[in-house]
Amino acid sequence: MNQDATPLFDMLLRHADREPIQFHIPAHKRGRGMDTRFRTFIGDNALSLDLVNIAPLDDLHHPTGAIKHAEELAAHAFGADVTLFSVQGTSTAIMTMVLATVGPDDVILVPRNVHKSVMTAIILAGARPVFLNPELDSAFGIAHGLSLETVSSALSQHPEAKALVVINPTYFGVSADLAGIVELAHNHGVAVLVDEAHGVHTAFHEALPLSAMQAGADMAATSVHKLGGSMTGSSILNIQGGIVDARHAQVVLSMLTTTSTSYLLLASLDVARRELALSGHEHLEKAITLANRARQEINCIPGLSCLGPEHLHSTATFAFDPTKLTVSVKSLGLTGYDVERMLREEHNIEVELSDLYNILCIVSWGDEWWQLEKLVHALSEVAKSCVVVSHHTDEKNVQLPPKTELLMAPRDAFYARTEVVPIAESVGRIIAEMIMVYPPGIPILMPGEKITAESIDYIETNLRAGLPVQGPDDAEIRFLKVVREGYCG
């Protein structure tokens, strides 16, 4: 296939050049009916492509023309049999994977550090999750991937399982032995669904972990917008092999997707695919070089440690994405949130996320060294303002997310009769809602799990640190919704 082609974007440009009289939505009619200040800032070119699925433009819900051609080019570029476009981010693609493979009471094997969208889909499907504990990094206070031993044991204990979810790579750039996991799962006839939100680029450079398609996975929800150059909210769903019915997956995705699809987002997927296919290796070489140089300089700053391959001794670790700069700041006596705020307020630098012990910065080919240099300088200034507690803070001082126990199916708990209790009085009860820090959006507690003192302590530690704890009906996290005592369904 000609990866230099951009059929969808070209079709939209031709349509805009025609300047047809539009008696269809959107009401702003190429910006003429829009707030002047916003129109001036966004520009008429962008607004002329803000269109709807009229016949000449093809329809994402039943593509037969330019959208279909663009998806076929994407499938070829990513090594998939079928690629479907999503204009509602990777969360919708993830939910599609789950809903297309499991239904009521089906067993699905799930890492405990999955994104909330996986659990949302499990609730909607009425499936029964079996949680697998990922390898925990007590030095950085983060979770990595699943070990082969954990996956093998789960497959043996649950021969009825229909699907296995894997994160590849994690938010922090750490990849499990995905090819080995896929082989194990396929030997048991189990479909492998990959949350590849942070791995769109991996197929295009040999220094990066294997992509889900390269590893033989059945489906992968892949964020093109996060690390591939498209607009925010644009993602793809890659499918290969014979375990998953691609047509059924397309039907499920259509059920979840708005009928008012964004052609701006679709066009950005088309051109991002072209850029990755033709120049991805060159671009990624630049990003990797920049990130490795920054990592080396950050590691020379007293009190800071930047995650790299030398830190990864876990049995689950198989590969590492160097474009992720995870910087441990705990030896400064600060939380990651403290450092995020200092970088914002004192140096005009924004990071991807912060947690109790780290900040995460993402490097792409859109960056230049002068920007990384400013980050290194800012981190050096932050460190100088602190008394370094220890270059190697006792790992016992790191509070890891507590292990949980699922007592009720998530769907049953979510729809159960409930009551609201003060968070301090919730220990021992079954929670009926989700609670997490976002980003990264990994639930601390999810519907059906037993609330423990350790869970409450971890939630309150994050609240005290100023981190964005969210999920419950009570936005202030003073009360939790729990299953009413004596409820039997």
Mean pLDDT of all residues in 255-279:
97
Instruction: Read off the pLDDT of each residue in 416-442 and give the average, rounded to a whole number.
Output: 95
The answer to whether the CB of 404 falls within 8 A of the CB of 111 is no
Give residue 393's pLDDT band: very low, low, confident or very high (50, 70, 90). Answer: very low
Distance, first Cα to last Cα, the chain: 54
Q: Residue 400 has what pLDDT?
A: 87
Please give the average per-residue pLDDT across 302-314, as a whole number: 91
Query: What share of the chain in percent tops pLDDT 90?
Result: 93
| Per-residue confidence (pLDDT) for residue 487, from 0 to 100 | 72
Fold classification of 410-483 is Ornithine Decarboxylase; Chain A, domain 4 (3.90.100)
Closest CA to 228 of 191, 265, 180: 265
Q: Is the pLDDT of residue 24 over 90?
A: yes
Q: State the pLDDT confidence band at 396, using cuts at 50, 70 and 90.
A: low
pLDDT digits (tens, 9 = 90+) for 46-60: 999 999 999 999 999
Whole-number pLDDT of residue 69: 98
Q: What is the pLDDT of residue 489?
A: 66
Does residue 484 surpass a pLDDT of 60?
yes
Rounded alpha-carbon distances, angstroms, from residue 430 to 417, 423, 426, 460, 482: 11, 12, 8, 18, 6
DSSP assignment of 164-230, as one string? EEEESS-TTSEE--HHHHHHHHHHTT-EEEEEETT-TTGGG-TTSPPPTTTTT-SEEEE-HHHHSS-
Answer whether 97's CB lies under 8 Å from 256's CB. no
Q: Other C-beta atoms within 10 Å of 299: how many?
A: 14
pLDDT at 317: 81
Across the range 109-126, mean pLDDT stands at: 97
* pLDDT of 387: 77
Predicted local confidence at residue 242, as pLDDT: 93
Phi and psi at residue 268, in whole multiples of 5°? Answer: -65, -30
Q: Over range 313-334, report the average pLDDT.
A: 91
Superfamily of chain region 280-392: Aspartate Aminotransferase, domain 1 (3.90.1150.10)
- Region label for 472, one of left (φ > 0), alpha (ψ between -120 and 50) or beta (otherwise): beta
Mark 168-207 as b/e (b = at least 16 C-beta within 10 Å): bbbbbbbbbbbeebbebbbeeebbbbbbbbbbbbbbbbee
Q: Using pLDDT thresholds of 50, 70 and 90, give the confidence band for residue 251.
A: very high
**Class level of CATH domain 7-277:** alpha beta
Q: Are 39 and 47 in contact (CB under 8 A)?
A: yes
What confidence score (pLDDT) does residue 457 get? 96
What is the maximum span of the chain, computed from C-alpha positions, in angstroms? 68
**What is the overall mean pLDDT for the chain?**
95
Q: Is the pLDDT of residue 404 over 90?
A: yes
Assign 391 a pLDDT band (cuts: 50, 70, 90): very low
Q: Which two tokens stand for residue 465?
A: 């640190």
Question: 0.85 cut: is pTM over it?
Answer: yes
Domain ranges of the chain: 7-277, 280-392, 410-483
pLDDT at residue 163 is higher than 90? yes
CA distance 73 to 56: 20
395 pLDDT more than 70:
no
What the block records as the tokens of 159 is 């021969």
User: What pLDDT does residue 1 have?
Assistant: 85
d(CA 40, CA 18): 22
Q: Do the Cβ atoms of 394 and 375 come closer than 8 Å?
A: no
Strand partners, 328: 305, 358
- DSSP for 253-270, written as a single string: HHHHS-SS--HHHHHHHH
Phi, psi of 469 (to 5 degrees): -80, 130
Separation in Å, CA 8 to CA 14, 19, 92, 112, 418: 10, 17, 22, 39, 49
The pLDDT, as a whole number, for residue 327 is 98
The yes-or-no verdict on residue 392 having pLDDT over 60 is: no
What pLDDT digit, counting tens, does each position of 96-108 carry?
999 999 999 999 9
Tokens of 471: 């999920």
Mean pLDDT of the region 395-413: 87
